[in-house]
């Protein structure tokens, strides 16, 4: 397990190139015009990195709230049944 943790700790330092396949030029152009230029000073790389990080944070947030609602509903069901 220690070996895996050591590998994961160095992943942040790694930099990779990203290639997009079958990507519409018009979609990319629209993204650049509406998102990248005004919000990221035209830096496509920064835009993609930032939006990926935001998507991951949002997914974690949504999952935590889904779990909270799920647990809350189970608690209500157990209370109605007379078990807690």
Alpha-carbon span 61 to 76, nearest angstrom? 23
- State pLDDT tens for residues 17-27: 989 899 999 99
Q: Which residue has the higher pLDDT, 44 or 83?
A: 44
- State pLDDT tens for residues 16-74: 898 989 999 999 999 999 999 999 999 999 999 999 999 999 999 898 888 888 787 76
The pTM of this model reads 0.61
Q: Are 50 and 40 in contact (CB under 8 A)?
A: yes
First to last CA, the chain: 37
């Amino acid at each position: 397990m220690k070996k895996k943790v050591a590998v994961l700790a160095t992943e942040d330092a790694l930099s990779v190139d990203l290639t997009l396949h079958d990507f519409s030029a018009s979609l990319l152009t629209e993204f650049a015009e509406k998102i990248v230029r005004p919000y990221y000073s035209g830096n496509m790389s920064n835009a993609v990195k930032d939006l990926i990080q935001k998507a991951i944070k949002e997914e974690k947030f949504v999952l935590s709230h889904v779990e909270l609602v799920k647990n809350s509903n189970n608690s209500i069901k157990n209370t109605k049944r007379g078990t807690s």
